[in-house]
Structure 1
Amino acid sequence: MTDTALHAARPRAAEPKLVSYARLAKLDVFDYYLSLLVVLSAVLLPLAGFDPAVLVTLAVFGLGTVFMTAAMVAFDDLTGYRDGSDVANYRADPTLRRARRKPLVAGTLTEREVVRFGWVTAVLGAAILTAAVVVTAPYAPQWTIWLTVATFVVALQYSYGLKISYHGFQEAFIAGLGWAMVLAPYGLVTGRFDLFVLVQALLFGLGPLLFGVYSNTNDVTGDRAVGRPTVAALTTPRGNMRFVAALSAGEFLIGAVASATGIAPWWFVLLMLPVTVLRARQFGLGFGPRKDILVARALGFTVHRVTAALLVVANLVLAATS
């Protein structure tokens, strides 16, 4: 798309810069940050043995991830605007996906402002995460340090620099970020690796992935046009449907296998059944007769939040009954 066409497509609307920067940082999408509540619930009980340093570490680590994520999504918007995919995808259905969520598309921020915001938040994120690991964390096993560093570095390369999401790794990164945001802070506050927490991390990371794949299904035309190889763009509609079905079924199987093998309590799979029911509903909306992909995507946020809440419940019940 030419520069002239891009600018013609931008609906300009005045709004305070602070609001535009908040939109750019996607601060209303807090789903990754729910990992902190999951980790807190895993270490909270018994209260008599709770170390207040845990709260400090989780707060500092969480703030660092907010800045890291703000940088990641800012650079993602920049790349999507420059290659034209955001203009195509967000102008296709102005009712369900308002272009205002993309300040570059809406014309409320300039490229220069977005680049500056991306690098400032990246530097702040790096500094705050370093403080979480070096200054506040009660423990700092080597694996948590490397996991935190790798997550930060890869996040900035998601669609900028190396542009890993343009080389077939988009879905893996979306899930991996969720996994890291459970495992890394848990390791920092406990100094150990736990298989049940790993199960929770896997389920938590599938949440963002299972609204990401519905977004990719909707954005398939724009992604193909710019060579972004998501599964939806690389395969047929039937193949993509099977991929989403496999992810949905895999989410249930993770909990079922964990309960069957003793990694999780026997009742864990039963506790998570509401998520399975909601996933079936989500799949039916997206790939059934109605084919309401964006409605299914929106439901995915609710499903992820229910997942996080149930993981918190699981941790509290397990600790209270142990």
Structure 2
Amino acid sequence: MTQSVAAETGTAPAAPRPEGKAHSYRRLGKLDVFDYYLSAPVVLAAILLPLSGLTGRGIGTLTLLLLGQVLVIMAMVALDDVTGYRDGSDLANYGPDHPLRNVLRKPLVAGTLTEREALRFAWICAVAGAAVWALTVAVAPHRPLWAVVLLALLYVVSLQYSYGLKISYHGFQEAFLVALGLVLVLAPYGLLTGQYTGFLLVQGLLFGFGPLMFGVYSNTNDVEGDRAVGRPTVAALVSPRGNAVFVGALSAAEYLISVTASVTGLAPWWFALVMLPAGCLRLRQYVTGFRAGNVMVARRTGFRVHRLSVVLLIVTNLLVGAGAS
């Protein structure tokens, strides 16, 4: 399919510079995009104080959870690359007509890995991730059924995100990204404490908005490639103006979650004030992407917003643990 797209456009990706297999596998697993893994410090901050509640067993459980998370997400993104290579969308989005996208980030399109190598890497990560998470549940201080079910569902759905059932090809991409972040906060907290709180639910939603909000800017940039292969992101389904309204609504909704949590008592009254810097930076992201027209610059700003939000959530959890109310 990739070859047919190249034939129709009359172009092919520029020849990448040689790079080692290890580096290519790192790119395939997107290890430089560590933002999904920042849920671990958020959860750690939520249980850290008082220190008497933190045990060696809890630290071991959180470490195993994080290791399994890395393996499962590497499997997910590698399978996503395989599908994007097969249907030609990655060639369309990372080819010579898109010089702002580094083709080496897609090893299959760049030719630094074969499809067979990518699939082998993905399934090794998937099997190892399942084993690590099974061990995690076995050694966890608590095993509430809801947390175990969430973790199992996250595992199954992640592998079907753009491979197998191809969930993201049936209109659920944006919802999945939020749910991914939510589960990465709630399930570990449940295994460590045996419970969940409304405030942790709020934090999980806010954490999930991070992947969502750099995802929708990627979709805005990749709209033509996604339309060509029938991947129904919101950006591909609506007009440019409709997509701008959608992203703007999401940007506002994210901060309104903080405000609502403070007003209703789910969070401390000062929580919305703590999260205000992230809300302001999110506004700047929107202006950059949809007013100035620099979508890829705005996407990079999205990573900064997410990382700032994580820092603010950690600070909030430590203050709450120290007795602030």
TM range (shorter): over 0.9
Q: 2:172 is aligned with what amino acid?
A: F
1:17-68 deviation line (CA, Å, top 9, x unaligned): 1110000000000001000000000000011332221111111011001010
Identify the residue that residue 225 of structure 1 maps to in structure 2: 228
What secondary structure is seen at the aligned counterpart in 2 of 1:321? coil
Are 2:182 and 1:166 aligned? no
Give, in angstroms, the shift of residue 96 of structure 1: 2.4
Identify the residue that residue 35 of structure 1 maps to in structure 2: 39
Are 2:293 and 1:291 aligned? yes
Q: Distance in 2 between matches of 1:16 and 1:115?
A: 18
What secondary structure is seen at the aligned counterpart in 2 of 1:9? coil
Aligned residue runs from structure 1 range 104-253, under 5 A: 104-134=108-138, 136-253=139-256
Identify the residue that residue 319 of structure 1 maps to in structure 2: 321
Give, in angstroms, the shift of residue 92 of structure 1: 4.9
Are 2:69 and 1:57 aligned? no
Aligned residue runs from structure 1 range 268-307, under 5 A: 268-288=271-291, 290-307=292-309
1:223-260 deviation line (CA, Å, top 9, x unaligned): 00000000000011111111101111111111001000
Stretches of structure 2 lacking an aligned partner (at least 5 in a row): none
Q: Distance in 2 between matches of 1:233 and 1:299?
A: 22
- Give the conservation status (yes or no) of the 8 Å contact 2:74–2:125: yes
1:126-176 deviation line (CA, Å, top 9, x unaligned): 100111111x21001000110000000000000000000000011111111
1:246-282 deviation line (CA, Å, top 9, x unaligned): 1111111110010001110000000000011001100
Q: Distance in 2 between matches of 1:98 and 1:66?
A: 23
Pair 79,110 (structure 1): closer, same or farther in 2 beyond 3 Å: same
What secondary structure is seen at the aligned counterpart in 1 of 2:322? helix
Give, in angstroms, the shift of residue 9 of structure 1: 2.1
What secondary structure is seen at the aligned counterpart in 2 of 1:138? coil
RMSD of equivalent CA atoms: 1.4
Q: 2:215 is aligned with what amino acid?
A: G
Give the number of equivalent residue pairs: 320
Are 2:93 and 1:89 aligned? yes
Give, in angstroms, the shift of residue 97 of structure 1: 1.3
Pair 183,92 (structure 1): closer, same or farther in 2 beyond 3 Å: farther
Moved over 6 A (4+): none
Identify the residue that residue 3 of structure 2 maps to in structure 1: 3
Q: Distance in 1 between matches of 2:278 and 2:16?
A: 40
Give, in angstroms, the shift of residue 74 of structure 1: 0.5
Q: Distance in 2 between matches of 1:3 and 1:283?
A: 36
Quote the sequence identity (%). 60
TM-score after normalising by structure 1: 0.97
- Give the conservation status (yes or no) of the 8 Å contact 1:71–1:118: yes
- Give the conservation status (yes or no) of the 8 Å contact 1:13–1:107: no
